[in-house]
Amino acid sequence: MRCYKLEKFKNQVSLLPYKMDKPAYSGLIIDLKGPVYNEMQEGDLTHKIITTGSKEFIDFLVGEKIPHIFATNVTSETRDDIVENLKNIGLDIPSEKIMTCIDTCMGYLKRENLENIYLISGNEKLRKIFDDEFNLIGGYEPDGEVPHAVVVGYDKGFNARVMNDAVAFVLYGARLVALHMNSRRMTLDGRVECNVGAYIACIARGAEIDETEIVVVGKPNREFYRQAFSRLNMKVNTSKILVIGDDPEADLRGGRNFGMSTAFFPTNKYPEWPGHMEFQPDITITETLEELIPYFSKMEQ
């Protein structure tokens, strides 16, 4: 079996065949924010910048026809936004290669016939997408309508009023649906902000429900990885699929629980693998995604 060894010489990247002595993987599920792009602040504007080596790695995957899909828990952008923003920084990734927690959420709501929705989200485009497909209702009123589900996404304006309304709806029978369970996010100026997982913890505590009653539709939910694996359309053992992410809990635990292999991509969010995690990643990337090239083989000697 022949694989590719990555060598850098005078800023040039060459792929040289060498005898395979590492575990080979057949497909990938790649987190977008962190491994593929980062963000920087310039005044009041936020710019996306390509992570070093990510374009070269993606070009390698495309050139070698290695099945891959990009999976994201981002709820502040629609799929069309993601495709357009990636194109603006030089990454031409087809829409069908991107899987979002919004996709899995809408599929779940339709499958369960949950039509009346109380949506927590600060993204107006996202609100419009849900409004086009479902009946969005406002805040809690004692004699008002109770939704079938409370759907929770990122909202910078999340406050006590929003939380109280959500708690009341859940107490009256609405399902609590989390777009993902990321507990925090890093701002571009280095501050920490609570994220969906933290909102969910507050609502669940207030409504006195346990985690088994919370429906998680994004990473690290097992169903998310099942759908991602299905979209890869591969007849291989799940251990041959490598999940790449910068969040050990949100990105990698779900893949591991589904039997997939994992690659940790350190960023400012998690510069090192957390000591409290009870498992270790199969691979820890030190600098760029190009380090993963030797783990893939499409050629025979």
Q: Give the pLDDT confidence of 121-166 residue by residue, as tens digits.
A: 988 988 999 999 999 999 999 888 999 999 999 998 999 999 999 9
27 pLDDT above the threshold of 70: yes
CATH of residue 164: 3.40.50.1000
Instruction: Assess whether 177 and 266 both reside in one domain.
Output: no
Q: What is the pLDDT of residue 182?
A: 83
Instruction: Assess whether 166 and 109 both reside in one domain.
Output: yes
The answer to whether residue 169 is domain-embedded is yes
Mean pLDDT of the chain, nearest integer: 87
Instruction: Assess whether 212 and 107 both reside in one domain.
Output: yes
Number of structural domains the chain divides into: 2
Is 52:37 a contact under the CB 8 Å cutoff?
Answer: no
Domain that holds residue 119: 103-216
Q: Give the pLDDT confidence of 203-241 residue by residue, as tens digits.
A: 999 999 999 999 999 888 888 898 899 999 888 899 999
Which of 200, 216, 232 corresponds to the end of one domain?
216
Mean pLDDT lowest among 5-9, 106-110, 229-233: 5-9
Instruction: Assess whether 211 and 225 both reside in one domain.
Output: no
93 pLDDT above the threshold of 80: yes
The answer to whether residue 57 is domain-embedded is yes
Instruction: Assess whether 284 and 238 both reside in one domain.
Output: yes
